[in-house]
Amino acid sequence: MSDDLNFDLSYVDWFRHSSPYINAHRDKTFVIFIPGEAAESAQFSNIISDLALMDSLGIRLVIVHGARSQINRIFEREALTSKLHKACRITPQEQLLPIIQASAGVRVQIEAQLSMALANTPMAGTRLKICSGNHVIARPLGVVDGIDFGHSGEVRRIDAEAINKLLNDDNMVLLSHLGYSPTGEVFNLKGEEVATQAAIQLKADKLIMLNAEEGIFSDKGELVSELLAKDAERLLDKLSSNNEIKLALQACIQAVRNAVPRAHLISFNENGGLIRELFTREGAGTMIDEDSYEQLRQATIDDVGGMMALLAPLEANGTLVRRSRELLENEIDRFILIERDNAIVACAALYAFEDESLGELACVAVDPSYRGGRRGDRLLKGIERSARKQGLNKLFLLTTRTAHWFIERGFKADSLTAIPNAKQSLYNYQRNSKIFIKKL
């Protein structure tokens, strides 16, 4: 048998073994993060070809790109000083334009590469459609630790409905690290955060983080092919705060903690890393998944310690009114919570005013590491069910920081006179909480 025939049979065998993966991935939604460094790597054209192949196999692709290295290069060229605080870039107004220019350059490069269909190339005959737009809604970070972050922001939400319409029409969707506010402002976001929130809010089947490193390595220097999220969390403290692999690993952990089935760390320097991970048994890089069980249940006296740990940061920053251990113990039967891996990750309370048929929704808290997975909605539904069982026909709440979240879920602003007299007498005018009511 000739060498050529051996090669052909080897290829046929590989293709046969990849068919189960091709069938499994068809019509699935994958969010793939491409850092700015990847766009400058020698393997970038191969990455683009692999994306085209995945698209042709029926995978719904949302690509998120960063531009960190391109921004740094422009800053060096224009002698601009970039300041970081807690691994986040501070973006004053005068530095926003060069950041936009760097981001636009990467976006155009990706779009141009995906438009290529030259003969004798892996993308010959392709007819790819890629769409971008203002699908990332952002808000400013504001002032943190006394530092004004300017035009640095965080993701408020992803326009999942618009993105899904584009995906349903056989488009790839391209998102950048820039977000837009309803007031017409532009904010510089972490690309890793955009990718994470896109995966969570689109209910994606996978989040894939391309990175310079091959994945996570053991103490013996061996590549770890699979990690549970709880084990991955233990590794974070060993990585420096500005380490790119740490940002990528944090994104993977948050995604799988919020119902994304699988997340992957894959090197953009490895030719065919994407294809190996998705279509072969041995895979590539490191996969992070979640195996824990989560339940919504009534709180008990044994939960007070865990609830205090959950509430403490929100009480410290003024989002919630401080509650003592004694008060929590006395009112524990008013609380429901979400437990995961024997840890309390969310809670809420219902205080009934039966004479007025009103219920107060209070103490809604979700651990920051678990936000974005609709746990707040689960708590709200649980409280509403309990209120109806008690014959209450309205819920009200007082809030200083989270008004928009409740408005989006049917609550309407009202006055102090709309709540029970007993509650009015306890109103803290210095705190100046807003009042919202919802009919059940």
List the chain pLDDT tens, one digit each, 440 residues: 445 545 566 767 767 677 777 888 888 899 999 998 988 888 888 888 888 888 888 889 999 998 888 888 998 898 888 888 877 888 888 888 999 999 999 999 888 888 875 545 555 666 778 888 899 999 888 888 888 888 888 899 999 999 999 999 989 999 999 999 888 889 999 999 999 999 999 999 999 999 888 888 877 777 877 778 877 878 887 776 557 788 888 888 889 888 888 898 888 888 888 888 888 766 788 888 876 556 789 999 999 999 999 999 988 888 888 999 999 999 999 999 998 767 899 999 999 999 999 999 999 999 887 776 678 888 998 999 899 999 999 999 999 888 888 998 889 999 999 999 999 998 988 888 999 999 98
Contact 175, 62 (CB under 8 A): yes
**How far apart, in whole angstroms, are the C-alpha atoms of residue 145 and residue 154?**
16
Nearest to 276 by CA among 41, 4, 9, 43: 43
At 77, is the secondary structure helix, strand, or coil?
Answer: helix
DSSP secondary structure, 243-300, as one string: -HHHHHHHHHHHHHHTT-SEEEEEETTSTTHHHHHHHSSS--SEEEE----EEEEE--
**How far apart, in whole angstroms, are the C-alpha atoms of residue 170 and residue 297?**
41
Contact 199, 31 (CB under 8 A): yes
Give 57's DSSP letter. Answer: T
Instruction: Give helix then strand counts, H and E, for the chain.
Output: 15, 25
- The domains of the chain, with CATH numbers, are 21-289 (3.40.1160.10), 294-439 (3.40.630.30)
**How far apart, in whole angstroms, are the C-alpha atoms of residue 336 and residue 345?**
11
Q: Count the neighbouring beta carbons within 10 Å of the beta carbon of residue 198.
A: 28
**How far apart, in whole angstroms, are the C-alpha atoms of residue 224 and residue 218?**
6
Nearest to 347 by CA among 394, 296, 386, 301: 296
Nearest to 363 by CA among 312, 414, 326, 407: 312
Whole-model pTM: value is 0.64
